[in-house]
Amino acid sequence: MADGTSQNIFIVGGGVVGASIAFKIAQSPEWNVTLFEAATKLGEGATAAAIGGITPQSESYCRGPLRHLALWSTKIYPEFLETLELSSAMQIPVLDSGQLQVALTDDEMERILRSLLPSWEEEGFETIVLSATETLRVEPSLNRELCGSVLLPIEFALEPVILMNALTVALANFTNVVVRKGVNISRITSSKSGACIETTSGERLNSDYVVIAAGIGSPALLPSLKDRIYPMRGQALEFRTGYSGYPLNHHVYTSGEPTRSSYLVPRINGRVVGGVTYEPNDERVIVDDLTLDRIVAGLAQLCPSSANWQRMRSWSGIRPASIDGIPFIGPMDEWSRIISCSGHQGLGVTLAPACSIMVHNLVSLDSSSWSPEVALALAICAPGRV
């Protein structure tokens, strides 16, 4: 594009990943961006079901190669949010006090100290071990019988719906962006000169590049991912606590294997989200009362006052999980005209800023110009990996 000509890019999928890619590329005025979303509103899929914890340290899928991408994305998140807030004229509240990994029993504390803590320290993460007294001092509403905790300062939380609202407004403010909602894509083809999409209504539209960020719908458009991306159901609840502001000082997690795993993410205006389940190969969008009862019981053990919170709503969402826990980000055809950015498991919100930069580099820069962070991230997420 050194000659000043513009290029066209289609992005299929209007969740947090697809919208973030559109937002990043739209900041380069030489690009014309069209974002396609099958639903009538952006962010209606897995993003709407997300809890909103940014978890590069605690998430088990980030304890392997994906750690590099998750850590990099977390570090660039503040700049991403600052740019988005300026573009949308909206504020995106962030709870940046860190996550507390709480132990309710001696065995749980022993597991954290002997299993998790050494690996976190070896990987260079900051960790702060708190005694039971110290834990209750910083988070007084937790179970008085807890045994201690570890604070993970790098982790923070935000509300995915607010993030998506800001992305929606920001994209509407770009003159080089078109958002098409309620459009289903049936087929994608490519050639040396570009790519073509076909809609279920019979349209054939040409572009220089097409990016597939359609979540669990991606394998239908990228057949090579059919056996490599599968549905991972998650269920959660939201409560009204009666407090104003954030009702907890941190987002809080405790794990009592194998029967108890509880996660509390406070939100503004006195709300708290609790969950969340990981149910592989389950595509049901209805909530399971028995599972919700187990979540509620676990939350009551972690935070006894939660038994008095008013339940506002519950939901079930489908994550696009990959067979090795790492998303597929990179070219899918011989001409590098079709780009996959799919299979983010439960990490779409965490990884969105980094993914937007990765895709922007793929379509804009020669690989020799990629930064070390981009080059390593794309190597980790290469669709052709074995």
Asked if residue 2 is part of any domain, the answer here is no
The pTM assigned to this predicted structure is 0.96
Q: Helix crossing, 66-88 with 16-26: angle to 10°?
A: 60
Is 44 contained in some domain?
yes
Residues 139 and 174 in one domain: no
- Give the residues across from 342 on adjacent strands: 328
Tokens of 211: 């990016």
Q: Is residue 385 part of a domain?
A: no
Q: Are residues 168 and 210 in the same domain?
A: yes
Q: Any idea what the CATH number is for the domain that residue 211 is in?
A: 3.50.50.60
pLDDT of residue 255: 83
Task: Single out the residue in 302, 321, 340 at which a domain terminates.
Answer: 321
Domain encompassing residue 125: 99-153+230-321
Q: Is 116 found in the same domain as 241? A: yes
Last residue of a domain, one of 303, 321, 339: 321
Do 337 and 308 fall within a single domain? no
The answer to whether residues 326 and 289 touch, using CB atoms and an 8 Å cutoff, is no
Here the contacts of 116-123 (C-beta below 8 Å, separation 24 or greater) are 116/150, 117/150, 119/63, 120/57, 120/152, 123/67
Q: Say if residue 164 is in the same domain as residue 311.
A: no
Domain of residue 237, CATH code: 3.30.9.10
Same domain, 219 and 346: yes
Do residues 212 and 138 share a domain? no
In a domain, 94, yes or no: no
Whether residues 299 and 342 share a domain: the answer is no
1 domain-assigned: no
Q: What is the per-residue pLDDT across 183-217, written as a single tens digit (0 to 9) for each?
A: 999 999 999 999 999 999 999 999 999 999 999 99
Overall number of domains in the chain: 2
Parts of the chain with a pLDDT under 50: 1-2, 258
**267 and 137 fall within a common domain:** yes
Q: Within a domain: residue 302?
A: yes
Nearest to 283 by CA among 313, 316, 314: 316
Burial of 54 (0-12, 13-18, 19+ CB in 10 A): buried
b vs e for 198-207, b when ≥16 Cβ sit within 10 Å of the residue's Cβ? Answer: eeeeeeebeb
Distance CA 242, CA 370 (A): 49
275, 296, 321 - which closes a domain: 321
**Is 290 within the bounds of a domain?**
yes
155 DSSP 8-state letter: -
Do 194 and 338 have their domain in common?
A: yes
Burial 330-362 (b: 16+ CB within 10 A, else e): bbbbeeebbbbbbbbbbbbbbbbbbbbbbbbbb
Task: Indicate if 49 and 28 belong to the same structural domain.
Answer: yes
- Looking at the fold, whether 300 and 175 belong to one and the same domain comes out as no
Interstrand relation of 251-256 and 99-103 (parallel, antiparallel or unpaired) = parallel
